[in-house]
Amino acid sequence: METPVAGDHPYDRLTPDLIMSAVESTGVLCDGRILALNSYENRVYQVGIEESEPVIAKFYRPERWSDGQILEEHTFCHELVKRELPVVAPLALGDEGRTLEAYQGFRFAVYPRRGGRAPEMDDLDTLYTLGKTLGRLHRVGAVRPFSERPTLTVESFGEDSIAFIREHFIPADLATAYGSLTGDLMMAIRELFSTLTSTDYIRVHGDCHGGNILWRDEQPNFVDFDDARMAPAVQDIWMLLSGDRDRQQRQLSEILDGYSEFNDFEPRQLRWIEGFRALRLMYFSAWLARRWRDPAFPRAFPWFNTARYWGDHILELREQLSAIQEPPLAWL
């Protein structure tokens, strides 16, 4: 198993002085207050501004996205805002209305601060409103495809993740079990997705869980489109579900009732939920593994890369293989 190493990593030079200087390069004056927010892939800070509301500065992880991919995400967010969707989009700065800035080797964007709390996932009115908002969001997402941003595929989320874990992280005594299980799992996922066609793919949020939704004034505010990509609509829906099967069933039906007020949903997509959930589990483990040399990750995820973690992960994947073989959730 690999261990993190000290020394150079993407954010070594991202000091408070650099953060303030970067934000001030956009034409504002900082008041010296900086608060680091909960983010690991990128670095996100609330920055105080003289005689104005604080802003949120998001510094992108170097070499993850191209400028074109980031700008396409920003364009999508502004397209949603133009359609009066409750989305927190980057500010357009300067005479040219730039949304992506660069400063001393870092690319960053500035957002308005938007307060809120996590949505109540057992409140029927909340779930119905979430569904309505997603239905509207997906109508916009279906207007045109992304040309720069990626597509959620079995290869990128599943096979690439498995290959990285097997090569660098899985303990030797679990390698055979992991290889056999993930082989069976990938076969089941490919069979499950055999009815998926190119017309099922639209622009989606991509990481649509409760942590990326701020509930305020009786409506959701969607934030952090960093993982926006082409995927079926159900990818944004299943991530709002949690708990046992009965609880997920109630949540799903309420969300889809709201969704159908503004958009059509194909019930056949429900059979893909457990496949996408399995891909998410594998991708998440590989994401942690790929970022393990960033000192922020061992501090935030101390349970990762232990013998117990990998044993539990194999058990979780085995349970997910069983879930794929069960009848799917239904829209009641």
Start-end ranges of CATH 1.10.510.10 in the chain?
A: 124-324
Which residues have a Cβ under 8 Å from the Cβ of 74 and sit 6 or more positions away? 89, 90, 99, 100, 109
Encode pLDDT of 247-270 as tens digits.
Answer: 999 999 999 999 999 999 999 999
Q: Pick the catalytic residue: 207, 226, 246, 294?
A: 207
Using the predicted structure, report yes or no on whether residue 4 has a pLDDT greater than 70.
no
Which of 109, 92, 90 shows the shortest CA–CA distance to 101?
Answer: 109
Q: How confident is the model at residue 332 (pLDDT cuts 50, 70, 90)?
A: confident
Q: Does domain 124-324 fall into CATH 3.30.40.10?
A: no
Give the integer Cα–Cα distance in Å for 195 and 191.
8
Using the predicted structure, report yes or no on whether residue 174 has a pLDDT greater than 90.
yes
Question: What predicted TM-score, i.e. pTM, was given to this entire model?
Answer: 0.94
Report the CATH architecture of 16-112: 2-Layer Sandwich (3.30)
Which amino acid belongs to residue 86? P
Q: How many CB atoms lie within 10 A of CB 193?
A: 18
H helix or E strand, kind and range, residue 240:
none
Encode pLDDT of 94-139 as tens digits.
Answer: 878 999 999 999 999 999 999 899 999 999 999 999 999 999 999 9
Active site residue 200: no
H helix or E strand, kind and range, residue 40:
none
Which residues have a Cβ under 8 Å from the Cβ of 328 and sit 6 or more positions away? 270, 271, 273, 274
Q: How many CB atoms lie within 10 A of CB 30?
A: 20
* Residue 136 or residue 9, greater confidence: 136
Q: Pick the catalytic residue: 67, 95, 122, 224?
A: 224
| Phi, psi of 124, deg, nearest 5 | -65, -40
Using the predicted structure, report yes or no on whether residue 242 has a pLDDT greater than 80.
yes
Start-end ranges of CATH 3.30.200.20 in the chain?
A: 16-112
Encode pLDDT of 269-308 as tens digits.
Answer: 999 999 999 999 999 999 999 999 999 999 999 999 999 9
Residue 94 has a pLDDT of 81
Residue 136 has a pLDDT of 98
Active site residue 207: yes
Encode pLDDT of 157-172 as tens digits.
Answer: 999 999 999 999 999 9
Mean pLDDT, the chain, rounded, equals 95
| DSSP H helical ranges for 83-123 | none
Alpha carbon separation from 235 to 60, 114, 200, 288 (Å, rounded): 24, 25, 11, 21
Using the predicted structure, report yes or no on whether residue 68 has a pLDDT greater than 50.
yes
Placement of tokens 């279906």 in the chain: 142
Contact 287, 160 (CB under 8 A): no
Using the predicted structure, report yes or no on whether residue 1 has a pLDDT greater than 70.
no
Q: How confident is the model at residue 2 (pLDDT cuts 50, 70, 90)?
A: very low
